[in-house]
Amino acid sequence: MNPAVLPSTATIVVGAAVLGAIVGSFVGAALERLPAGRSVVTGRSRCDHCSTALSIQDLLPVVSWLALKGRCRTCGGPIGGWQLFCEVAAAGIGAAAVVFAAPGAVLAAMAFGWQLMLLALLDLRHLWLPRLLTALLATSGLMLAVARSVAGHDPAPLITAVQGGALGWGMLALVAAVYRIVRKRDGMGGGDPPLLGAIGLWMGPVGVIHVMLGGALVGLVAALALRIAGHSVGAGTALPLGSCLAVAAWPLFLASGFA
């Protein structure tokens, strides 16, 4: 291809951001529908207040929310700010992946980031990590490891991924089991070990250690922010560990790439 017709980096970044905003619109819908047991792939989008089917002009990522000032065109009911947040955050993930991800890992970084984003928000809002979504994250990481091993005629990427998955799941499962024995109650959600295992399939055993440390730091910052905001934080305070792990994992993946 003639270099003169190749898209500029700025054009690619903008395109990735637009793609991310579209994905973010889906994430926002999933964030509302999944906890209610509704399908995210079938049925038209409707206003949560008047049930009016939304048209294309009401579903343009970011633009529609701003144009309608966060309210339904028909009934004036408020459209949650979470929808706008999801679209903007997913757009940022797409753009950041183009700018910061290692060559050859841009699309993978986008997919990893968008999946982690949905899981993080579900855990943050509902303390819920759906096993199906965690399984999709694990499957995509494993498939990429297989593809890299086949392409390079080297089993090392697949071996490293499997080691990371086993270490990630095993570490948190052991912590949860010991806590249950010592304190006679659960201290960790059942979805956290599978999530770290899925992250390990993407990032390998060294990545798992870094994510654990990063997640702990994110949790400490979150607890401090709650204290500063005047909320009581104690041993019984439920903090979304999955959200902390997801927030730590994606920037670490951008910095280090695949294991």
If asked whether residues 84 and 143 sit together in one domain, one would say no
| Count of structural domains within the chain | 2
- Per the DSSP assignment, residues forming a β-bridge with 46 are 53
Sorted by sequence, the CB contacts under 8 Å of residue 2 that are 6+ apart come out as none
If asked whether residues 32 and 95 sit together in one domain, one would say yes
Domain assignment of residue 119, yes or no: no
If asked whether residues 154 and 88 sit together in one domain, one would say no
If asked whether residues 137 and 243 sit together in one domain, one would say yes
Domain assignment of residue 123, yes or no: no
If asked whether residues 94 and 150 sit together in one domain, one would say no
% helix / strand / coil in the chain, to the nearest 5?
70, 0, 30
Closest CA relative to residue 81, chosen from 90, 89, 93, 70: 70
Domain assignment of residue 215, yes or no: yes
Which tokens in the block code for residue 204?
A: 């390998």
Domain assignment of residue 196, yes or no: yes
**Three-state secondary structure call for residue 237:** coil
Which domain-ending residue is among 100, 123, 157?
100
If asked whether residues 137 and 247 sit together in one domain, one would say yes
Give the global pTM. Answer: 0.92
Sorted by sequence, the CB contacts under 8 Å of residue 150 that are 6+ apart come out as none
Domain assignment of residue 245, yes or no: yes
Kind plus residue range of the DSSP H or E element containing 170: helix 156-183
Residue given tokens 């009934």 in the structure block: 75
Q: Phi and psi of 240, rounded to 5°? A: -75, 95
**Three-state secondary structure call for residue 46:** strand
Domain that holds residue 60: 6-100
CA distances from 243 to 116, 147, 192, 216 (A): 8, 28, 9, 11
Residue given tokens 């940022």 in the structure block: 92
Q: What is the pLDDT along the chain (259 residues), one digit of tens a residue?
A: 445 555 788 899 999 999 999 999 999 999 989 998 888 877 778 777 788 888 788 888 999 999 888 888 888 888 888 999 999 999 999 999 999 999 889 999 999 999 999 999 999 999 999 999 999 999 999 999 999 999 999 999 999 999 999 999 999 999 999 989 998 888 788 999 999 999 999 999 999 999 999 999 999 999 999 889 887 776 667 789 999 999 999 999 999 988 7
DSSP state of 148: H
